[in-house]
Structure 1
Amino acid sequence: MQMNCQFLSPTRQAEILPFETAPRPIVGFACDYPSGLATGFHTHPRAQLLYATSGVMRVETPDSNYVVPPTTALFVPANAEHAINMDGPVTMRALFLREDAATHVGSKSKVIAVSGLLREVVVAACAEPVEWSPDGRGQHLAALALDEIAKSSPLPLGLPLPRDPRLRRVISALRSHPGDARSLEEWSEIANASSRTLARVFRAETGLSFRQWRQQARLTEALSALTLGVPPAKAAAIAGFNSVPAFGAAFRELFGITPGQARSLRSGAPR
């Protein structure tokens, strides 16, 4: 593993190396992380399925920002640069995928829904030794995990990030204060570009209008807050909604679940 920060000591890196080089198609990796921990950008030589039985992970790549609550997992291709931030304590139960296994999943980062079966398979895989017996339980768990991952539906939990430095200044401020109601015309002073230019570049680089991007960013922040136990009324305020029913309708349209269901995700018990 290559990292540009001191998240891992040499000893810790040596402990992870077997998971990155094991002669098995899938290897489970279990680790608990404290609230607020940030890994910094790093890469792995193998693809990963990042999953946590409890807690919320924020994962950033050069192109997108993902929020990964329980009941979802993020597939990260091999050698893809990414950084993880822990929103509250996180009980990570992840999988490392060998190249031939990863080809069954895809070549791009994506958030998938984690079924009850996939959750238990991942947890069971993490209990197996790194070099599990090819004739034992690990073989069946690996095959079932790949089948469940391949069948899982992608979820709209990835927020595309523009590369234009003018837009980066705008989204950096919005991510710190998602409820900020300033219009694109008002943001143009900070970005040092006309609102028309900002709108055009925003659409070209993210595929979304500024209004759509901001709405998704706000709802994503609300999702994170809900999974940490914040009540729906406060989550609605975080998302910039004055009406809780209107917030609930927008939230359900984007994520396919209600704010109440999202809030119940925090109850996932560590395994």
Structure 2
Amino acid sequence: MLVDTPFNRYIVPPEQGVWLLPHVDHEVQCLTDVSLVSFYIATEMRHDMPKECAVLEISPFLKVLIYEARDFTDHYSWEDSQGLHLRLILQTLSEAPAAVYQLPFPSDKRLVKVLNCIQQTPSNHDSLEQWGDVVGASSRTLSRLFKKETGLHYTEWRQRLTIQIAIRKLIQGNPIAVVADELGYASVSAFTYMFRSKTGMTPRLFKGKQVR
């Protein structure tokens, strides 16, 4: 899935979940067939959950818990077996590590122009100095704005955008070599190294998880 909020974009591959805070406007786009299970957690139960929206790693154990809870009714007691099951899901969710599929959105019009240009031409690996000539700002100004508006340095933000584009293309069935070329990598091995360093798995393994 692709989840957009006013401030961030989240890619949610298989074996992942997205945590959204209350009252956050969001739009969900399914890039492939999706089976979705949603949990709504009362305010008083959220104290151990992340304080910001995030993509969470879903362990095999947690996946089984979620699968078994799909058929629970609304008529459960917090003290009965179903309530105990849901409390275990909540506890396990609160301990789930955050994944790297979050992309903070900038609002400055110059950074937005950079974002749009890279999305249209993902193979573009221009430096901040080169982007400065395009958007009319110094590289120092752009560097400061990226850190202020996204919390990330440009190189890290650029890599996260690359990961999001790569995941979307891989999910859509594009061959790894084609994705690597479209993203401007000189070789599949260079693309694989980047992808594995950011996601913990190779593109081939990631594609394999899509068909299970």
TM-score normalized by structure 2? 0.89
Show the counterpart of 1:252. 196
Letter in 1 for 2:36: M
Q: Indicate if the aligned counterparts of 1:218 and 1:238 stay in contact, CA closer than 8 A.
A: no
Could you say what secondary structure the match of 2:177 adopts? helix
2 CA distance for matches of 1:176 and 1:98?
Answer: 41
Show the counterpart of 2:136. 192
The question of 1:160 aligning with 2:96 is answered: no
Q: Could you list the per-position Cα deviations for residues 232-252 of structure 1 after superposition, in whole angstroms to 9, with x for gaps in the alignment?
A: 212212332121111111111
Letter in 2 for 1:169: K
List alignment gaps of at least 5 residues for structure 2. none
Show the counterpart of 1:227. 171
**Structure 1 pair 195–135 and aligned structure 2 pair: CA distance change class (3 A):** closer
1 CA distance for matches of 2:122 and 2:22?
Answer: 32
Show the counterpart of 2:9. 65
In the alignment of these two chains, the number of paired residues is: 212
Please identify which structure carries the higher strand content: 1
Within the candidate set 31, 52, 55, 1:111 is matched to: 55
Q: Indicate if the aligned counterparts of 1:227 and 1:265 stay in contact, CA closer than 8 A.
A: no
2 CA distance for matches of 1:189 and 1:83?
Answer: 34
Deviation at residue 253 of structure 1 after TM alignment: 0.8
2 CA distance for matches of 1:159 and 1:185?
Answer: 22
Could you say what secondary structure the match of 1:264 adopts? helix
Show the counterpart of 1:128. 72
2 CA distance for matches of 1:133 and 1:265?
Answer: 36
Q: Could you list the per-position Cα deviations for residues 141-190 of structure 1 after superposition, in whole angstroms to 9, with x for gaps in the alignment?
A: 21110121122111111112212122112212323332223443443354
Query: How do 1:1-271 and structure 2 match up within 5 A?
Result: 57-268=1-212
Could you say what secondary structure the match of 2:32 adopts? strand
TM-score normalized by structure 1? 0.71
Deviation at residue 221 of structure 1 after TM alignment: 1.4
Letter in 1 for 2:162: R
1 CA distance for matches of 2:30 and 2:134?
Answer: 30
Q: Indicate if the aligned counterparts of 1:60 and 1:84 stay in contact, CA closer than 8 A.
A: yes
1 CA distance for matches of 2:168 and 2:138?
Answer: 32
List alignment gaps of at least 5 residues for structure 1. 1-56
Could you say what secondary structure the match of 2:122 adopts? coil
**Structure 1 pair 101–267 and aligned structure 2 pair: CA distance change class (3 A):** farther
Q: Indicate if the aligned counterparts of 1:229 and 1:266 stay in contact, CA closer than 8 A.
A: no
Please identify which structure carries the higher helix content: 2
1 CA distance for matches of 2:172 and 2:58?
Answer: 19
Q: Indicate if the aligned counterparts of 2:102 and 2:160 stay in contact, CA closer than 8 A.
A: no
Deviation at residue 134 of structure 1 after TM alignment: 4.0
Name the Cα RMSD after superposition.
Answer: 2.1
2 CA distance for matches of 1:238 and 1:221?
Answer: 10
Letter in 2 for 1:201: L
Q: Indicate if the aligned counterparts of 2:32 and 2:171 stay in contact, CA closer than 8 A.
A: no
